Structure formats: C-alpha cells, structure tokens
Amino acid sequence: MRVITTILEMVAERSRCASSKSVGFVPTMGFLHEGHLSLVRQGRKENEILTASIFVNPTQFGPHEDLESYPRDLPRDLQMLENLGVDIVFVPTTDEIYPPGFVTYVDPTGPLTMEAEGASRPGHFRGVATVVLKLFQIMQPHQAYFGQKDAQQVAVISRMVTDFDLPVKLRILSTIREADGLAMSSRNAYLDPAERAASSVLYRALQNGRMAFEAHVNTRSREGVSEVVKAMIGTVLKEPGAHLDYAEVRDPDSFMPLEATRAPALLLIAAKVGPARLIDNFLLRADGSWDTGIPVNQQ
C-alpha cells in the first residue's frame, strides 16, 4: 500500500494508473471502525484499484465543535487499510488541502443544507462539499463509497455530483451497527460506559418511529407523520442520559419535511449523549423496503 501526503505526488500516482482500470475511492476522517471497513471491503470487490483518504476536514467543523479532540490513530488506520488490500491511501495535511490564500468554497443552498444537520451545524455541508469536490479532483475515482449513516451528506454529495456533472458513480452502503443497535461512529469513543448504554436510545427511537410509520403508511396522512415524530421523541425522553436535538421525517433527496407517510422517506434523529453528538436514520426506499442498517456481526 502506498501512503501519499502531497497533492502533487497523489496526482502523479493517479495518472500512472492504467486508464483501463476501474478506480474506487473511500474518503474518511480516520479512526476507522467496521462502518468504514464495510465501505473498503465493498470498494475492494468492485474496483481494480482501491484508494482511500484520511483527512480530518476542519472546514466542516463549527467553531465550538470537536475538531481538536476528534479521535485520531493513523498507524492503526493504515494497518487496517493495508490488511484489507487498499492500494493507495492519501493522507494530506490541512495546509496541503487549504494552503494559505485558499478562498474558493462549494456552497450548497436550500433546505438540503439549511435544515436538519444544516440547522444544527451551520456551514457544515459547505465544508463537506468543498473537501469532497477537492478529493474527487485529486483522486479521480470512477466510484466513490459513502455511508447511509450520514444521510444528509449523501444527499448533498449526490446533488453536487449531478449539479457539477462529476464523472463519478456514488455507492451508498448501509449503516453498520453495534449489537445493541448503536450506529458505529468514530465519536462513540467519547462515550463512558453509562453514556454508551444510553446511546442505544437513538436506534430504539428509530424502531418505534418505523412502527408508527408502518401503522400509518396506508393512510398517507399528515397526522401519520406527527405520530412518527411523537414516537421517536417519546422514546428519547425516557432516556435521561440523552438530550434530543431533532427527530424528523424528511424526503431523502430534497430533505423537505414529509407531508404524508409515503415512500421514499427518511426517519432522522440527532441527540447529545454526554460529550458526543450522535446522528442516525432509517431509510424507507421508494420501493417500500427499509434500510435500517446491518449489525456488525451479520455483515
């Protein structure tokens, strides 16, 4: 596995890849877990050359967020990627991606970036879109792998790929979960044992939301949507260790609030548990099937 730290070298290495070979790309912020590794394994199966990146992107963190404390373990991450057969990993410094004088950002607009995560984290998706476009330019992947765990990120990047005619196919994979349902996340490392126990409430809230959704799905009613939200909020309120940020039902592409219980739909939840802000979702696909994620031991 080649570990590359500069854009110049990365672009040169990429141009040495035979143009006939398919190139996959898995962007990450490191401190890898089974969620990341599921993307890497799938990418390995589907591409002749597999690339990944590790970069904690400062522009997607708000001024009072956890950029400084974000967990990092580069040697361990590189070993994991090497074990899974990654060919090239790009590990730039912040100055490499944002050199002095950097002024140009991708700024997605509208409800897609102003609501849900966008409302709680102003500027977050501007940082995400900017770094992902830069990484696509540098890595030139045919296919790029993202997790459904970050549903709004998926919607923003899909929209950017369409809007900018980017020649990349997005592969969106299911959320990998711990045995008790907690979505795997680098930020779970912030949780002490009591907080860790409380954090499974997000999954339980989504399960109760799904049940309420199914009970109202044929009515296609506006009241159905509020019953779903009520079920999610009620579940979180019973867990004193969790502090709800939002529980919502939205369209998975536009992120507009749903007016009725119809497919496709996204059940979204965000809550603070101790020092960690956690997000999760269930996706009801257009064909009526649910993507609720995969337990780590059933992959």
Beta strand segments in the chain, E: 2-4, 23-28, 49-54, 88-90, 143-147, 169-173, 176-177, 242-250, 265-273, 276-284, 290-291, 294-295
Q: Give me the residue label for tokens 């649910």.
A: 290
3-state helix, strand, coil in the chain (%, to 5): 40, 20, 40
Identify the active-site residue in 36, 124, 216, 243: 36
Q: Is 36 an annotated catalytic residue?
A: yes
Residues in contact with ligand AMP by CB under 6 A are: 28-29, 35-36, 38-39, 146-147, 149-150, 173, 175-176, 183-186
> Looking at beta carbons only, is 70 or 213 nearer to ligand AMP?
70
Q: For the packed helices 124-139 and 7-16, what is the interaxial angle rounded to 10 degrees?
A: 50
Least distance to ligand AMP, CB of residue 185, Å: 5
Least distance to ligand AMP, CB of residue 145, Å: 7
Least distance to ligand AMP, CB of residue 246, Å: 18
> Looking at beta carbons only, is 34 or 214 nearer to ligand AMP?
34
Alpha carbons 271 and 232: distance in angstroms, whole number: 11
Least distance to ligand AMP, CB of residue 261, Å: 26
Alpha carbons 151 and 128: distance in angstroms, whole number: 13
CB 131 within 8 A of CB 60: yes
**Helix (H/G/I), strand (E/B), else coil: 196:** helix
User: For residue 250, which of 228, 273, 219, 276 has the smallest C-alpha distance?
Assistant: 228
Which H, E and C letters describe 51-112, residue by residue? Answer: EEEECCCHHHCCCCCCCCCCCCCHHHHHHHHHHCCCCEEECCCHHHHCCCCCCCCCCCCCHH
Alpha carbons 127 and 122: distance in angstroms, whole number: 10
> Looking at beta carbons only, is 39 or 228 nearer to ligand AMP?
39
Torsion of CA 130, 166, 43, 85, to 10 degrees: -70
Least distance to ligand AMP, CB of residue 136, Å: 13
Output the six-digit token pair for 102: 């950097």
> Looking at beta carbons only, is 120 or 221 nearer to ligand AMP?
120
Least distance to ligand AMP, CB of residue 61, Å: 11
Alpha carbons 189 and 2: distance in angstroms, whole number: 28
Residues designated as active site: 36
